[in-house]
Homo-oligomer: A and B are copies of this chain.
């Protein structure tokens, strides 16, 4: 039976134990690449940050050293110094073969997160959340000609929806999903017309959330994501 095969394959699949070092690089690196930590922003002091993240300072420093060598942060010493997000950021790297091979699963996972977020945001969003989302839609409208800027605001919109659910795990899931998507779409051309229609969907999603219309939010979100997916399917192997 194919059921047993897939179940067993999943249960007995390799255990990938990510080290604290790797997870830290990932977390901070993704936050920087997504713009959650803006260029020029200062990170908390090492002694504070390692406490917050529940790791030893030496482990944190390994991660910061790696991010420093890849050009994502730079550190200055002395009083008033600190670790700062680089400005400008280094250029993004092309996706690895492994990332490309799993792009469909990445999209599937994102679909789940975004749908759940859309439904729960529609149930729970407060007025101030909606205001923030409105602003982001407007900001996106002004960035149709500038893909990097558009993508930044796009991420903040999607993460903003996740924040409106008040569920930290969904915020984490959303940032992870967006990080994975960024790796995929960084190198794909996006003409202004596509971005305009994408933002029209944003507008409809926010409207549905405002009206507490969860099914509609979910439906529009599905369309929104399948737009991206169709573009990828045309460009990537296994599409």
Contact = CB atoms under 8 A, between A and B. Distances in A.
Interface in A81-127: 104-105, 108-109, 111-113, 115-117, 119-120
A13 interface: yes
A11 B37 contact: yes
Contact of A54 (B9, B16, B119, B214): B16
B105 A116 contact: no
A13 B170 contact: no
Oligomer copy total: 2
A53 interface: yes
A7 B155 CA distance: 12
A3 interface: yes
Contacts of A172: 10, 13
A163 B3 contact: yes
A23 interface: yes
Contact of A53 (B13, B31, B36, B222): B13
Given A3-B132, A167-B105, A14 B112 contact: no
A115 B121 CA distance: 14
Query: Ordered nearest first, which 5 A-B pairs have the shortest CB separation?
Result: A112-B116, A14-B54, A17-B20, A11-B31, A108-B167
